[in-house]
Amino acid sequence: AQTVTQSQPEMSVQEAETVTLSCTYDTSESDYYLFWYKQPPSRQMILVIRQEAYKQQNATENRFSVNFQKAAKSFSLKISDSQLGDAAMYFCAYSSQGGSEKLVFGKGTKLTVNP
């Protein structure tokens, strides 16, 4: 069974600075998808960024980018120019090929942004 590990229960960053959230996963599959979801205090789960394992290029979405290291089974999230609105729980998630399978989530990292 696949597992997702987020080793940082909490992180903090100064506004306008850059922070990196770590995620590692364990799988025997060669094709899969990885996601980062954000959960602000409002509780809504919001997709931040996604990566297809077959793509070597790291995904980017504005200030959010990932460092996908397939051999190391690592999928870290970098947030540049952090904003107060980035404060939230961040969840790394894994999905088998086909996408419409269950998401396996890590335990989350609580990000605090200090003004």
Phi-psi region of 16 (alpha: psi -120 to 50; beta: other; left: phi over 0): left
Site string for other proteins, 8-37 (x = CB under 8 A): -------------------------x-x--
Token pair in block for residue 80 = 């540049």
Please identify, using beta-carbon distances, which residue of 35 and 68 lies nearer to other proteins.
35
Judge whether 84 and 115 are in contact, CB under 8 Å.
yes
Closest by Cα among 108, 99, 92, 102 to 33: 99
Nearest to 58 by CA among 73, 81, 76, 32: 76
Q: Does 102 bind other proteins (CB under 8 A)?
A: yes
Q: Of 19-27, 63-71, 78-86, 99-107, which segment contacts other proteins by CB under 8 A?
A: 99-107
Which x/- pattern, by CB under 8 A, does the window 61-80 give for other proteins? --------------------
Binding-site ranges for other proteins (CB under 8 A): 33, 35, 39, 42-47, 50, 52, 89, 91, 95, 98-105, 107-108
